[in-house]
Amino acid sequence: MAEIVVGDRHIPLDEDGFLEDASMWDEEVANFLAKTEEVELTEEHWEIIKYLRKYFDDFNVAPPVRRMVKDVHRDLQTIYALFPSGPGKGACKIAGLPKPTGCV
């Protein structure tokens, strides 16, 4: 099983690099994962990450892409500009969510 080491914590990842346990996520983990995605986090990134975390906390699943685009008031092109590997692979991974269903 793969893992990342953030500070003194060993955090297990699934085969696609997503956290095995979303409760192990914090901002330090997000910054580490962002580097693996070659993303420099800005306030705009954090706004989307916080939205994803809240949605996951409320519904125990990542939001559908169309829902996310509507709720964060950004178009899909903007989301891809912020998270080049996409809203599922990049944004959800950095937010510490499990790999979304249908994410390749």
* Positions marked catalytic: 103
Give the integer Cα–Cα distance in Å for 55 and 60: 7
Written as one letter, the residue type at 45 is H
Written as one letter, the residue type at 17 is G
Q: 103: buried, middle or exposed (CB in 10 Å: 19+, 13-18, 0-12)?
A: middle
Lookup: tokens for 90: 């990049």
